[in-house]
């Protein structure tokens, strides 16, 4: 038995103690972690606008061989737009709800991401993190579900994992989940329709204007490719936050809130420029303990968590191709009460 499995079992034994509650962990965090600072919030918002503007200027003036660098920078800056909207969705950007809703729509609009649609679904993820059949973010596929699929769908999923196409995963999630009001409860549909209308109107005005003034290539160069880079980070952040071979997903009757949010959320360090442009969203453990913590206070909260609850945290990682290879090679199917299995292990056991 490997050291990681032994440690995982020890942590499971501790966290499955019914006396350990998430709110008790939250109480150990410094009060400053929850304080909204309008100067910091609007500075982050302005930084994202300036950096995206710099990125678009760089795209406009760059020779063809420098365009990939300009695209990567701009798409990463646009990911910062999403993080601003993310804070707004959790009501941690401003004190007034209408300000959060307005800024959230404005910052998610260029990404064609309906704000309320995302907000509602994302809050569901926080309530059911790493719960089988409930978590609606990046969740594992169980063998019995996989076997119920047709051959075409099975082949597509195997290609997706084996060819390490995780980076397009959020595009499918965005397209399938967020534009259909029928995917939401009746009480939420008016908000969803409003947010969909906002992004449709934006696209109806901006896209034809962009094509008319810069051509199809201009649309691809200035919007589509940076948008793909944004989705690269969106997909990458989402899978890394809660996926590793020893991170458990539990059935409803065994799910433990503290374990899911504390041990089931992974801290991963990215290059400094990515952290700055994306407003530290990958300091993710404190965010899953309490969504009330603004992004500019995440590092302060994480320092406290490591000091008080370090023995319960998952190992930290640094972003790399080898890390993504390890995740996609090992975390392919998930057997309830057992853990992840590879496709080869699945077929060998049949």
DSSP-assigned beta bridge partners for residue 171:
none
Residue 61: burial class (beta carbons within 10 Å; 0-12, 13-18, 19+): exposed
At 10 the pLDDT is 65
Instruction: Give per-residue pLDDT as tens, 247-300.
Output: 999 999 889 888 889 899 999 999 999 999 999 999 999 999 999 999 999 999
**pLDDT per position as a tens digit, 112-146:** 999 999 999 999 999 999 999 899 888 899 999 99
pLDDT at 20: 75
- Mean pLDDT over residues 151-178, rounded? 93
- Closest C-alpha among 346, 29, 317, 315 to residue 157: 346
Q: What is the pLDDT of residue 347?
A: 87
Render pLDDT for 28-45 as a digit per residue (tens, 0 to 9): 999 999 999 999 999 999
Q: What is the pLDDT of residue 244?
A: 94
pLDDT, position 1: 40
CA 63 distance to own-chain centroid = 33
Average pLDDT over residues 107-114: 98
Check pLDDT > 60 for residue 15.
no
> For residue 152, how far is the Cα from the chain centroid?
28
Q: What is the pTM of this model?
A: 0.93
When pLDDT is averaged across residues 46-72 and rounded to a whole number, the result is 98
Does residue 316 carry a pLDDT above 80?
A: yes
pLDDT tens per residue across span 170-200: 999 999 999 999 999 999 999 999 999 999 9
337 backbone φψ class: left, alpha, beta (φ>0; ψ -120 to 50): left
Best-predicted range by mean pLDDT (15-19, 59-63, 257-261): 59-63
What's the gap between Cα 102 and its chain centre? 21
Contact 234, 114 (CB under 8 A): no
Task: Count the Cβ atoms, other than its own, within 10 Å of residue 11.
Answer: 19
pLDDT of residue 91: 97
Please check whether residue 302 is in contact with residue 252, taking contact to mean a CB–CB distance below 8 angstroms: no
pLDDT of 196-253, one tens digit each? 999 999 999 999 999 999 999 999 999 999 999 999 999 999 999 999 999 999 999 8
Determine the pLDDT at residue 311.
86
Instruction: Map out the domains of the chain as residue ranges.
Output: 3-348
């Amino acid at each position: 038995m490997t050291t990681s499995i032994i440690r995982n079992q020890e942590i499971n034994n501790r966290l499955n103690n019914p006396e350990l509650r998430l709110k008790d962990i939250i109480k150990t965090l410094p009060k400053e972690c929850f304080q909204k600072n309008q100067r910091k919030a609007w500075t982050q918002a302005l930084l994202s606008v300036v950096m995206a503007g710099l990125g678009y200027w760089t795209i406009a003036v760059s020779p063809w061989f420098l365009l990939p660098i300009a695209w990567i920078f701009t798409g990463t800056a646009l990911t910062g737009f999403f993080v601003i909207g993310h804070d707004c969705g959790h009501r941690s950007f401003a004190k007034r709800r209408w300000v959060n809703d307005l800024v959230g729509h404005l910052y998610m609009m260029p990404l064609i991401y309906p704000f309320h649609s995302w907000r509602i679904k994302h809050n569901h993820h926080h309530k059911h993190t790493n719960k089988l059949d409930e978590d609606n973010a990046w969740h594992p596929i169980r063998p019995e579900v996989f076997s119920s699929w047709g051959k075409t769908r099975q082949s597509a999923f195997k290609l997706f994992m084996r060819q390490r196409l995780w980076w397009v995963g959020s595009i499918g999630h965005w397209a399938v989940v967020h534009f259909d009001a029928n995917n939401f409860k009746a009480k939420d549909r008016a908000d969803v329709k409003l947010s969909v209308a906002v992004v449709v109107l934006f696209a109806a005005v901006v896209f034809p204007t962009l094509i008319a003034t810069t051509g199809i290539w201009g649309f691809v160069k200035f919007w589509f490719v940076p948008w793909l880079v944004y989705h690269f980070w969106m997909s990458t952040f989402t899978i890394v936050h809660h996926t590793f071979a020893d991170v458990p997903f539990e059935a409803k009757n065994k799910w433990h809130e503290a374990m899911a949010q504390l041990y089931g959320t992974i801290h991963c360090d990215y290059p400094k420029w990515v952290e700055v442009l994306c407003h530290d969203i990958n300091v993710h453990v404190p965010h899953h303990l309490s969504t009330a913590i603004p992004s500019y206070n995440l590092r302060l909260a994480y320092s406290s968590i490591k000091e008080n609850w370090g023995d319960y945290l998952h190992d930290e990682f640094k972003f790399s191709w080898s890390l993504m290879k390890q995740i996609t090679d090992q975390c392919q199917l998930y057997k309830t009460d057992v853990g992840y299995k590879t496709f080869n292990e699945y077929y060998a056991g049949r």
